[in-house]
């Protein structure tokens, strides 16, 4: 045995005044003995401040850490966050007593109960656990429901399926002949755990974690923990683990799940299991964080904010949409057209003869596919990831999933392999539907879900890819068209991922009512009727035609690569469908305009029949919009403002843009809110933060705040992001902070001036980048410009980075003459003007400049580094 002690002074961020020792009567294998525990406790500090405690947080570390893991939480409670924090060192661990006994999971839960009894802890108590400390804390919680006020967890697990092996690192550490060497005889297990921090731990913090485990005899608890992992159904701790897993499902207290997705031990599979057991939990995945989440992310703030809002009773729930009378789901038009043999969808992307699908065919296919999915066990609320190229197959699959209440998960291939994989792993689908290429990626990258192939594959290929069904098989199974009850308006319908242009792609959750509201806004604002017809060169709108009850056609292009669309292809699509509305993305318009000389007289005649033209996804210039309008002379050009979170917010026509060109406002005018929508602005303070009350006062620069019937429900498993987006919004209705900055003019028109994180906070106050960029782009030599900040916060200096029409092969400073003229063209002082071959843009739109990346590059460039183009 080794006695308990207190940690040495001088450990980073740990005040020795928090250290305590307590002797606790033993139980179980310790019956008749007493054991001394070390723990951190901030009770004396709170008492000295005269703070009335709201309750106690019981924080339990895992293996091989100790109470030092919770040091930031212990020190961050105060008058506004009045929680006592008790962070234990479990027996055999940290600075608690080494008994030399093997402690099972059940024994450790008994130990913790004896510890809290000795301290005479009473409710309200919130448990907080990480790693195997999560299981132990939940075991305690299930036994002490009378005192329990909430449960919070960092990466952990409470269930290990019999048919799934434990994570490889744990299998290796626990292997016969390896266990002692990896855990106690050497510090290998500790070394590996500490190496999982992102970014790496500082040498001082890493050393602090090692202090209690300097000798082999002090690491025997690490060995015991690994030996106690219930890797099989016959393990001595398996029954207790199963009891805890079952008990968690009956906990009805507030719950918080904070997760590091880069964890090689507790993957998102374990998070998905916890969400099923605690469906009411608030969940936040910290992208980039891993197993040592307490070091990787601001978990303490998250825990304390959650306590204030959800345990102290001040939370406001997200408003959900009721199943109001008159609600028509997205698939309702298909039901209305079941006997209509006229054209519904035309796909011209095949490279050969266009694929034409009638309303009858589409309606039948949707119903049979829905029935087939239900036959194989897909139920309401199950998630289905659709890795299918836009076209009739994707359209049928989406409407089939919606009809049975399955949640559609859509992530754009434009995110790249890494971004797409991160999105799918985060969404954790139950089913993946895809072609051979997508299913190969799913196999190689370990994406979760039952795999369904869009095509029939050779038997060996299907086996290798883990394919269990094909769409053809599902259609046969669903030939009876037997369908379950329809989902309700308030049920979750879809998780649509953002482009990733403003940070890691986020899953945006929509209910059926919100999707229907989006359809209704489009139909009403653009006067879409069954006779209208749509040409959809923008993937999101390629799926709206059936919901709008009008025929649609996708032109000859690679729909995932907008720049492949040509003017001739648009004309052919208009002619094939007799469409009157054309939807295009900003990136596709560039190539459509560039290929206009290829149009024949017949092509131009077809384009002359178009009456409405839309470009949405990112703002485009008046010049580009006018060039596209020249190709469709009888159409009214529109460029709506929106985002994945709310597809259509405002709208403006080409005439509207021209009418405000001399208004003197800064930014890009995106028009007035569509019917039913509201737009306000939260003003910026001197530090560039949007702290002002949201208002419609004209001329105020600030963050754009919106409300709309079709505004998203929430972000998927990003509670903190949701919380930030709903901070200080007007009472009543559903509101969202967009992260865009701009202002309203006296006529209520919205002007967008950039992103909040791109605001340049100078010594004279915050400056939005778009206005100065527009000043620079009025120079005939400048093709495109970006203005970014460098230097310390609140004293940022502005740098212009431009593309010139003449071009350059490598980054360089512009000539003194051009720099002088450009500085004279804007009121914002520029400390430097740099030229690059091409400004960095996001993957999807090819039009949104990545100013954050450019700012880092410019600062390094001006510090003297020789860099390639950003």
Is residue 327 helix, strand or coil? coil
Render pLDDT for 581-637 as a digit per residue (tens, 0 to 9). Answer: 999 888 888 899 999 999 999 999 999 999 999 988 777 778 889 999 999 999 999
- Residue 305: which region, alpha, beta or left (left: phi > 0; alpha: psi -120 to 50)? alpha
- Quick one: which of 855, 812, 827 has its CA closest to 771? 827
Q: Specify whether the CB–CB gap between 130 and 43 falls below 8 A.
A: no
Same domain, 570 and 709: no
Render pLDDT for 753-778 as a digit per residue (tens, 0 to 9). Answer: 999 999 999 988 999 999 999 999 99
Alpha carbons 714 and 737: distance in angstroms, whole number: 12
Alpha helices in 433-511 (DSSP H): 436-445, 459-465, 471-477
Strands of 117-234 (E only): list them.
125-129, 148-154
The pTM score is 0.91
Tell me if 867 is assigned to some domain. Answer: no
Alpha carbons 499 and 574: distance in angstroms, whole number: 28
List phi, psi (to 5°) of 252.
-115, 20
Tell me if 840 is assigned to some domain. Answer: yes
Q: Which two tokens stand for residue 449?
A: 């879900």
Q: Specify whether the CB–CB gap between 456 and 470 falls below 8 A.
A: yes
Tell me if 846 is assigned to some domain. Answer: yes
Q: If residue 832 lies in a helix (H) or strand (E), which one and from where to where? A: strand 830-835
Same domain, 307 and 371: no
pLDDT of residue 38: 98
Alpha carbons 294 and 282: distance in angstroms, whole number: 17
Tell me if 74 is assigned to some domain. Answer: yes
pLDDT of residue 844: 46
- Quick one: which of 334, 277, 343, 305 has its CA closest to 141? 277
Q: Specify whether the CB–CB gap between 645 and 712 falls below 8 A.
A: yes
What is the CATH classification number for the domain harbouring 141?
A: 3.40.50.1820
Q: Which two tokens stand for residue 701?
A: 């620069």
The DSSP 8-state label assigned to residue 17 in this structure reads G
Q: Specify whether the CB–CB gap between 610 and 582 falls below 8 A.
A: yes
The DSSP 8-state label assigned to residue 849 in this structure reads B
Same domain, 630 and 722: no
Same domain, 631 and 658: no
Same domain, 412 and 534: no
Alpha carbons 48 and 441: distance in angstroms, whole number: 58
Q: What is the CB neighbour count within 10 angstroms for residue 370?
A: 28
Give the β-pairing of 702-707 and 636-638. unpaired
CA distances from 744 to 205, 338, 482, 707, 857 (A): 49, 46, 52, 15, 33
What is the CATH classification number for the domain harbouring 558?
A: 3.40.50.980
Tell me if 654 is assigned to some domain. Answer: yes
Same domain, 749 and 763: no
Torsion sign, CA atoms 328, 334, 335, 336: positive
Name residues whose C-beta falls within 8 Å of residue 856's C-beta, 6 or more positions apart in sequence. none
Last residue of a domain, one of 458, 487, 516: 487
Torsion sign, CA atoms 307, 308, 312, 318: negative
Among all chains, which residue has been given the structure tokens 């210039």? 621
Same domain, 659 and 633: no
Alpha carbons 655 and 127: distance in angstroms, whole number: 60
CA 587 to chain centre: 24
Same domain, 120 and 159: yes
Tell me if 8 is assigned to some domain. Answer: no
Tell me if 781 is assigned to some domain. Answer: yes
pLDDT of residue 326: 66
Alpha carbons 65 and 20: distance in angstroms, whole number: 18
Same domain, 152 and 261: yes
CA atoms within 13 A on the CB side of 402: 28
Last residue of a domain, one of 275, 294, 311: 311
Give the β-pairing of 343-347 and 355-358. antiparallel
Same domain, 784 and 734: no
Tell me if 338 is assigned to some domain. Answer: no
Alpha helices in 736-811 (DSSP H): 770-777
Same domain, 543 and 630: yes
The DSSP 8-state label assigned to residue 865 in this structure reads -
Alpha carbons 802 and 836: distance in angstroms, whole number: 6
pLDDT of residue 491: 95
Last residue of a domain, one of 708, 726, 757: 757
Total domains present in the chain: 5
Alpha carbons 788 and 775: distance in angstroms, whole number: 14
List phi, psi (to 5°) of 242.
-65, -40
480 is in which domain, residue-wise? 358-487
Q: Which residues of the chain fall below pLDDT 50?
A: 314-325, 843-846
Same domain, 634 and 653: no
- Quick one: which of 288, 847, 240, 312 has its CA closest to 588? 847
Q: If residue 259 lies in a helix (H) or strand (E), which one and from where to where? A: strand 255-259
């Amino acid at each position: 045995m080794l006695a308990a002690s207190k940690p040495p002074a001088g450990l980073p961020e740990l005040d020795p005044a928090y250290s305590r020792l307590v002797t606790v009567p033993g139980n179980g294998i310790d019956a008749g003995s007493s054991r001394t525990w070390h723990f951190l406790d901030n009770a004396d500090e709170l008492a000295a401040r005269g703070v009335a405690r709201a309750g106690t947080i019981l924080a339990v570390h895992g293996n091989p850490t100790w109470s030092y893991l919770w040091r930031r939480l212990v020190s961050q409670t105060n008058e506004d966050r009045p929680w006592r924090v008790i962070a234990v060192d479990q027996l055999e661990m940290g600075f608690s007593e080494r008994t030399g006994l093997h402690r099972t999971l059940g024994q450790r839960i008994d130990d913790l109960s004896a510890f809290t009894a000795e301290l005479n802890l009473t409710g309200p108590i919130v448990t907080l656990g990480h790693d195997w400390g999560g299981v132990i804390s939940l075991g305690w919680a299930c036994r002490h429901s009378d005192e329990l006020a909430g449960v919070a967890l960092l990466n952990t697990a409470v269930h290990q399926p019999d048919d799934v092996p434990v994570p490889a690192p744990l299998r290796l550490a626990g292997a016969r002949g390896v266990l002692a060497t990896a855990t106690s005889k050497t510090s290998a297990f500790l070394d590996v755990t500490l190496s999982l921090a992102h970014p790496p731990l500082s040498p001082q913090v890493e050393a602090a974690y090692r202090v209690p485990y300097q000798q082999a005899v002090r690491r025997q608890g690490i060995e015991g923990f690994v030996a106690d992992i219930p890797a099989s159904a016959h393990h001595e701790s398996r029954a207790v683990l199963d009891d805890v897993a079952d008990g968690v499902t009956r906990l009805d207290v507030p719950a918080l799940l904070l997760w590091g997705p880069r964890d090689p031990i507790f993957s998102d599979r374990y998070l998905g299991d916890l969400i099923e057991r605690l469906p009411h939990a608030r969940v936040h995945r910290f992208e980039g964080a891993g197993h040592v989440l307490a070091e990787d992310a601001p978990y303490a703030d998250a825990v304390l904010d959650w306590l204030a809002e959800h345990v102290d009773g001040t939370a406001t729930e997200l408003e959900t949409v009721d199943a109001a009378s008159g609600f028509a789901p997205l698939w309702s038009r298909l039901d209305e057209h079941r006997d209509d043999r006229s054209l519904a969808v035309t796909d011209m992307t095949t490279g050969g003869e266009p694929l034409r699908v009638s309303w009858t065919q589409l309606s039948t296919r949707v119903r049979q596919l829905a029935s087939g999915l239900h036959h194989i066990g897909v139920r309401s609320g199950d998630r289905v990831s659709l890795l299918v190229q836009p076209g009739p197959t994707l359209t049928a699959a989406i409407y089939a999933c919606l009809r049975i209440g399955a949640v559609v998960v859509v992530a754009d291939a434009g995110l790249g392999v890494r971004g797409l994989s991160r999105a799918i792993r985060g969404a954790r689908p139950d089913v993946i539907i895809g072609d051979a290429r997508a299913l190969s990626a799913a196999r190689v990258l370990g994406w979760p879900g039952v795999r369904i192939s869009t095509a029939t594959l050779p038997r060996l290929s299907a086996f290798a890819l883990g394919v269990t069904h094909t769409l053809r098989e599902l259609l046969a199974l669903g030939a009876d068209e037997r369908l379950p009850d329809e989902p309700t308006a308030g049920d979750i319908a879809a998780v649509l991922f953002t482009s990733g242009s403003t940070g890691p792609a986020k899953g945006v959750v929509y209910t059926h009512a919100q999707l229907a509201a989006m359809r209704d806004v489009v139909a009403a604002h653009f006067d879409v009727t069954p006779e209208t017809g749509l040409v959809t060169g923008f993937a999101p709108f390629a799926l709206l035609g059936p919901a709008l009850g009008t025929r649609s056609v996708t032109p000859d292009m690679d729909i995932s690569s907008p720049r492949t669309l040509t003017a001739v292809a648009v004309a052919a699509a208009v002619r094939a469908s007799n469409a009157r509305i054309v939807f295009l993305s900003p990136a596709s318009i560039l190539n459509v305009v560039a290929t206009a000389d290829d149009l024949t007289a017949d092509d131009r005649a077809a384009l002359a029949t178009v009456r409405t033209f839309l470009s949405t996804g990112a703002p485009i210039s008046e010049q580009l919009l006018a060039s596209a309008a020249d190709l469709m002379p009888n159409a009214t050009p529109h460029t709506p403002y929106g985002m994945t979170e709310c597809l259509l917010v405002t709208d403006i026509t080409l005439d509207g843009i021209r009418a405000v060109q001399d208004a003197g406002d800064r930014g890009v005018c995106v028009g007035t809110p569509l019917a039913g929508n509201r737009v306000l602005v939260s003003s910026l303070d001197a530090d560039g933060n949007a702290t002002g009350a949201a208002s419609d006062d004209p001329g105020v620069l600030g963050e754009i705040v919106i409300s709309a019937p079709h505004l998203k429900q929430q972000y998927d498993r990003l509670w903190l992001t949701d919380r930030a987006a709903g901070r200080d919004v007007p009472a009543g209705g559903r509101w969202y902070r967009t992260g865009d900055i701009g202002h309203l003019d006296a006529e209520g028109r919205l002007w967008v001036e950039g992103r909040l994180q791109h605001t340049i906070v100078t010594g004279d106050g915050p400056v939005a980048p778009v206005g100065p960029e527009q000043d620079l782009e009025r120079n005939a030599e400048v093709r495109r410009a970006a203005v970014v900040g460098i230097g310390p916060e609140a004293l940022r200096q502005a740098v212009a980075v431009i593309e010139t029409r003449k071009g350059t092969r490598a980054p360089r400073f512009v000539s003194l003459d051009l720099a002088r003229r450009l500085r004279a063209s804007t009121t914002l002082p520029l400390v430097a003007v740099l030229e690059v071959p091409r400004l960095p843009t996001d993957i999807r739109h090819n039009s949104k400049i990545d100013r954050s990346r450019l700012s880092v590059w410019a600062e390094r460039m001006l510090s003297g580094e020789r860099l390639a183009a950003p």
